[in-house]
Structure 1
Amino acid sequence: MTPILPLIAAASLITGLAGAAPAASARVLPPAGSGLPATPFSPPAALVPVAGAGVLQPVASVPAGVVQHVAALTEAEQRRVLAYWTPRRMARALPGGLLGSVARLGGLGSGDLPLRIAAARPPHTRPPGHTRPPAPSRPAAPPRERPAGQGRSTTGGASTAPVAARPAARTPGVSTSGARWAAGGAVTRTTGRVFLTMRGVDYVCSAGAVRSRTMDVVVTAGHCVKDGRGPWAENWTFVPGYEAGERPFGVFTARRTLVPEPWSAKGDDSHDIGMVAVNPVDGRHLGHVVGGQEIAFDAPRGERAFGFGFPADPPYDGEHLIYCSGATHADPHGQTRDQGMRCDLTAGSSGGPWLSSFDPATGQGVVTSVSSFKYSDDPRTMYGPYFGDQARRLFEAAQRA
Structure 2
Amino acid sequence: MTPSLPLLAVTALVTGLLQAPGRDVSPVGDVVEHVAGHASETYWTPQRMARAVPIGLLGDLRKITTARPGAPSVLPAAPPGSVLPPVARAALPPAAGAVLAPAQAARQATGTTGTTGTTRTTGTSSTTRTRQAAAMPPATTSGTRWAAGGSVTRTTGRVFLTLNRVDFSCSASAVRSANRDLVVTAGHCVKDGAGDWAENWTFVPGYDEGRQPYGAFPARRMFVAGPWSRSGNDDYDVGMVAVDDLDGQHLTDLVGGQPISFDPPRGRRTYGFGFPADPPYDGERLLYCAGVPHGDPQGQTRDQGLRCDLTAGASGGPWLSGFDPASGRGALTSVSSFKYSNDHRTMYGPYFGSAVRDLFRTAERA
If the length of structure 2 is used for normalisation, what is the TM-score? 0.80
Which runs of structure 2 are paired with 1:125-274 in the superposition (5 Å)?
Answer: 131-132=67-68, 140-144=69-73, 166-167=100-101, 171-274=136-239
Aligned to 2:19: 48
Q: Which amino acid aligns with 1:193?
A: R
Which whole-Å CA distance do the structure 2 matches of 1:284 and 1:195 have between them? Answer: 21
Which whole-Å CA distance do the structure 2 matches of 1:83 and 1:291 have between them? Answer: 26
Superposed CA offset, 1:350-397 (max 9, x none): 000000000000000000000000011111100000000000000001
Q: Which amino acid aligns with 1:273?
A: V
Task: Judge conservation of contact 1:7–1:148 (CA < 8 Å) in 2.
Answer: no
Q: Which amino acid aligns with 1:167?
A: A
Q: Which amino acid aligns with 1:252?
A: F
Find 2:307's aligned residue among 342, 357, 370: 342
Aligned to 1:117: 65
Task: Judge conservation of contact 2:60–2:75 (CA < 8 Å) in 1.
Answer: no
Task: Judge conservation of contact 1:324–1:342 (CA < 8 Å) in 2.
Answer: yes
Task: Judge conservation of contact 1:6–1:146 (CA < 8 Å) in 2.
Answer: no
Q: Which amino acid aligns with 1:256?
A: R
How far off is 1:141 after superposition?
A: 2.5
Superposed CA offset, 1:244-300 (max 9, x none): 000000000000000000000111000000000010000000011100000000011
| 2:49 aligned counterpart, secondary structure | helix
- Answer yes or no: is 1:100 the counterpart of 2:98: no
Aligned to 1:7: 7
Task: Judge conservation of contact 1:60–1:400 (CA < 8 Å) in 2.
Answer: no
Which whole-Å CA distance do the structure 2 matches of 1:6 and 1:273 have between them? Answer: 11
| 1:332 aligned counterpart, secondary structure | coil
Aligned to 1:81: 40
Sequence identity of aligned pairs in percent? 60
- Answer yes or no: is 1:393 the counterpart of 2:364: no
Q: Which amino acid aligns with 2:42?
A: A
Which whole-Å CA distance do the structure 2 matches of 1:234 and 1:93 have between them? Answer: 13
| 1:354 aligned counterpart, secondary structure | strand
Find 2:256's aligned residue among 291, 294, 305: 291
Superposed CA offset, 1:335-357 (max 9, x none): 00000010001000000000000
| 1:192 aligned counterpart, secondary structure | strand
Task: Judge conservation of contact 1:340–1:381 (CA < 8 Å) in 2.
Answer: yes
Task: Judge conservation of contact 1:309–1:349 (CA < 8 Å) in 2.
Answer: yes
> CA 1:94/1:151 → structure 2, altered by over 3 Å: closer, same or farther?
closer
Which whole-Å CA distance do the structure 1 matches of 2:54 and 2:305 have between them? Answer: 22
> CA 1:209/1:145 → structure 2, altered by over 3 Å: closer, same or farther?
farther
Count of residues in correspondence between the two structures: 318
> CA 1:3/1:246 → structure 2, altered by over 3 Å: closer, same or farther?
same
Which whole-Å CA distance do the structure 2 matches of 1:205 and 1:313 have between them? Answer: 11
Superposed CA offset, 1:28-55 (max 9, x none): xxxxxxxxxxxxxx7555522337xxxx
Which whole-Å CA distance do the structure 2 matches of 1:68 and 1:175 have between them? Answer: 37
Which whole-Å CA distance do the structure 1 matches of 2:291 and 2:314 have between them? Answer: 17
Which runs of structure 2 are paired with 1:235-384 in the superposition (5 Å)?
Answer: 235-384=200-349
Structure 1: give runs of 5+ residues left out of the alignment: 9-41, 52-56, 106-115, 119-130, 133-139, 155-160
Which whole-Å CA distance do the structure 1 matches of 2:226 and 2:258 have between them? Answer: 25
Aligned to 2:34: 69
Which is helix-richer, 1 or 2?
Answer: 2
> CA 1:281/1:44 → structure 2, altered by over 3 Å: closer, same or farther?
farther
If the length of structure 1 is used for normalisation, what is the TM-score? 0.73
How far off is 1:400 after superposition?
A: 1.3
> CA 1:188/1:165 → structure 2, altered by over 3 Å: closer, same or farther?
closer
How far off is 1:2 after superposition?
A: 6.5
Which whole-Å CA distance do the structure 2 matches of 1:216 and 1:46 have between them? Answer: 16
